[in-house]
């Protein structure tokens, strides 16, 4: 087959895929849908769905949506920054404490259970370090 014919056939495929739909309801109330005409059935007319993003999108915000002044938003941002900085300070302290505990556990390796304790302390250090990194990212996003 020549490429031109193949291209024309591919372009017509969506047109060929669209079929009429027929609906029939029998005496018992059973509904039957078909792509071929049914005796006593009626053609169903479907409205096309919007295909462009602008048509599918409604207004960004409703008219009666509450507005926030810049001063109010700035106050909220300042409060959020203070909370994040407090959390960062706490996590830093917890990381330092976990580091000291791990260092003291490593300085005195006596029993097999000490290995479990060192793994636990190392896991706590990793957790606090991840929390610190996440808090720093959040703080960097604030204006």
Residue 52, pLDDT above cutoff 80: no
Q: Give the angle 138-129-82 at the CA atoms, nearest 5°.
A: 35
CA distance 122 to 114: 12
CA distance 81 to 143: 10
**Most confident range, picked from 84-93, 102-111, 134-143:** 84-93
Whether the per-residue pLDDT at 111 is higher than 60: the answer is no
- pLDDT top residue among 31 and 58: 31
Given the structure tokens 């990212």, which residue do they identify? 137
Residue 14 in any domain: the answer is: no
Backbone angles phi, psi at 23, to 5 degrees: -125, 135
Q: What region, left, alpha or beta, does residue 33 occupy, with left being phi > 0 and alpha being psi -120 to 50 degrees?
A: beta
Domain for residue 107, yes or no?
yes
Give me the pLDDT at residue 57, please: 61
Task: Identify whether 55 is part of a domain.
Answer: no
**In the predicted model, what is the mean pLDDT of the chain?**
81
Q: Is residue 24 part of a domain?
A: no
Residue 62 lies in a domain: no
CA dihedral for 120, 121, 126, 129, sign (positive or negative): positive
Is 6 contained in some domain? no
Total number of domains in the chain? 1
pLDDT band at 58 (very low <50, low <70, confident <90, very high): low
130 pLDDT higher than 60: yes
CA-to-CA distance for 54 and 97, rounded, in angstroms? 55
**Res. 14: pLDDT tops 80:** no
Q: What range defines the domain where residue 129 resides?
A: 89-141
Q: Is residue 119 part of a domain?
A: yes
Distance CA 1, CA 5 (A): 7
pLDDT band at 47 (very low <50, low <70, confident <90, very high): confident
Q: Is the pLDDT of residue 71 over 70?
A: yes
Residue 133 in any domain: the answer is: yes
Better pLDDT: 87 or 24: 87
State the pLDDT at residue 79.
94
The β-bridge partners of 23 are 33, 42
More confident residue, 27 or 1: 27
Q: 70-107 vs 112-141: helix axis angle to the nearest 10?
A: 160
């Amino acid at each position: 087959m020549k490429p031109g014919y193949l291209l024309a056939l591919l372009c017509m495929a969506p047109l060929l895929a669209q079929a009429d739909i027929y609906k029939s309801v029998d005496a018992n109330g059973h509904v039957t849908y078909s792509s071929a005409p049914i005796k006593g059935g009626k053609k169903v007319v479907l409205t096309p769905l919007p295909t462009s993003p602008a048509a599918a999108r409604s207004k960004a915000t409703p008219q009666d949506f509450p507005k926030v002044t810049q001063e109010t938003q700035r106050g909220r941002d300042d409060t959020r920054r203070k909370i994040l900085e407090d959390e960062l300070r706490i996590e830093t302290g917890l990381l330092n404490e976990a580091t000291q505990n791990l260092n003291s556990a490593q300085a005195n390796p006596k029993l097999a259970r000490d290995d479990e304790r060192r793994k636990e302390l190392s896991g706590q250090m990793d957790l606090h370090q991840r929390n610190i990194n996440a808090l720093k990212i959040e703080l960097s996003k604030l204006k």
